[in-house]
Each structure stands twice: as C-alpha cells, then as structure tokens.
Amino acid sequence: MRRRAAPEVRGFRRSFNTALATFVGLPALWLVCCLTAAAVASRADDPSYRRLLPAAANAATGFVLSALAGSTVRLQDFAGQVVVVHFFATWCEPCRAELASLSRARGPSAGEQYTVLAVNVAEVSARVRRFIETSPVTFPVLIDGDRSVTKAWGVSILPTTFVLDRDLIARLFVEGDIDWSRNDVQDAIQQIRKAIRSDRDLATGERHDLEQAGDDDGGCGACCGCGNAESGAC
C-alpha cells in the first residue's frame, strides 16, 4: 500500500520553500533597488539628461550690478530681448564647463539670438577677473558680492540659469550645468524668440494700418490725436 505524505508535512515544505525564496529574494530586490537608485542619481548628475524647466513667473526680479569691466548693468536695459541669466562661482567645477558652453552657444556664428549675463556669487572681483583672464567668455560678468540678487532669485544651487522673455519674466530655468548647444535647449529659446518676433510684427502691422488711415484722410486723421486733422494743420 502506498503511503501518503501527511498534509502538515507538505505545509511545512511549502512554508520552508517560501521562507527560502523570501530569504534569497529580499537581498536581490534590495540590490535591484539600489542599482536603480544609483542609475537615477547618475542620470540626474549627467548634464545630457537635464532639461530646461518652466520657471516661476516671479522668479526674476530687477537688479543693478557692477560688471567686471567696470560698468553698471541694469537688467531693465535688456527689456525686449531674450536674456539668459547665469549664476556661477569660480570654485564650482560644473560652472566652469557651463560658462564655456554658454560662450560657444553665444559665439559669432550664433548671431544675436539672446543676451547672456553671468552673475558671480559672493566672490571678490580680483579673483573673478583672474579666472576670466584664463577662461574668457563672450558676455558680461557681473558681481553679486553680497548675494542679494542670488537670494532674491531664490538660487540655492550653482550653477543655476534662467531664461527670460522680452518682459524680463522668467520662463525657463535649470539647476546644474547643461549643454547650451543641444537642439532641445536651442529650440526652447527659439520658441521664446518667435513670440517676441510675432509681437513685433503685430505692432508693426498696427502702425502701418494707422499710417495708412492717415494717408487716406489726406493728413494725420485720427492717428496721432493732435486734433488738427480737420483744419489740415497737422
């Protein structure tokens, strides 16, 4: 007669096998999680994976800073242009790479696509000047010695860069270095520039319509509001 194994024995084997699988599986799962986290962290540290992100509308505030060349630079003077504001320090290794990247992207072949203002954070001018002499850039370098602008813009990581529209409103930003010659980065800036051109074309068309209306009236008509249209003294 064939003897059947007792149910409790089968249950013990099943429990033992489950425990063994759990004992072996948990470390494997932990290892996979660690490797995944390391890969994500590595990707986050890799400039090729960074992207320009939407910025808070109130991120940018006006400033007046001294340039390394000795002049005074007001952010408001650049209204009507796309402006890239880059916060950096000479001791920051990624900053050095990004300054070079910005210079290449803003080289003569790029044309006047956008203006770059590099803001040095809390370093003395002499130190920054020595650094720029060995690593020249193609844009103004400003000194934020007391970090007042850095704090006002909410910058806590270097490098940090903002892209402003023609109204000097922050539209995009990135924390950490990024390759500014990348197609997706240049395309994002071009979208902001196209909006500026569209607004200018619209304004030019409106002026043309007003001028045309004045020509049809035989004078200035209602275009300039001088009130002399009827008398012909305009």
pLDDT (tens digit per residue) in 212-230: 555 555 544 444 444 544 4
Token pair 């051109």: residue? 197
Structure tokens at 52: 């320009």
Could you give the domains of the chain?
50-191 (3.40.30.10)
Alpha-helical regions (H) of the chain: 7-44, 93-105, 125-134, 148-152, 183-216
Q: What is the pLDDT of residue 152?
A: 96
* Amino acid at the residue 9: V
What parts of the chain have a pLDDT lower than 70? 1-49, 107-112, 196-234
DSSP 82: -
User: What was the pLDDT predicted at 45?
Assistant: 56
pTM: 0.66
Task: Tell me how far apart the alpha carbons of residues 24 and 19 are, in angstroms, rounded to a whole number.
Answer: 9
pLDDT in tens, 26-64: 444 344 333 323 333 344 455 555 789 999 878 889 999
Task: Spell out a b/e string for 188-209, using b for 16 or more CB atoms within 10 Å of the CB, else e.
Answer: bbeebeeeeeeeeeeeeeeeee
Output the CA torsion sign for 53, 56, 62, 65: negative
CA distances from residue 218 to 207, 224, 230, 232 in whole angstroms, order as listed: 17, 13, 10, 8
Helix (H, G, I), strand (E, B) or coil at 172: strand
- Say if CB 118 and CB 86 are below 8 A apart: yes
* 62 neighbors 143 (Cβ within 8 angstroms): no
pLDDT at position 64: 97
pLDDT value of position 49: 59
Joined together, the tokens standing for residue 175 give 């924390």
Residue for token pair 């402003």: 164
Q: State residue 117's pLDDT score.
A: 97
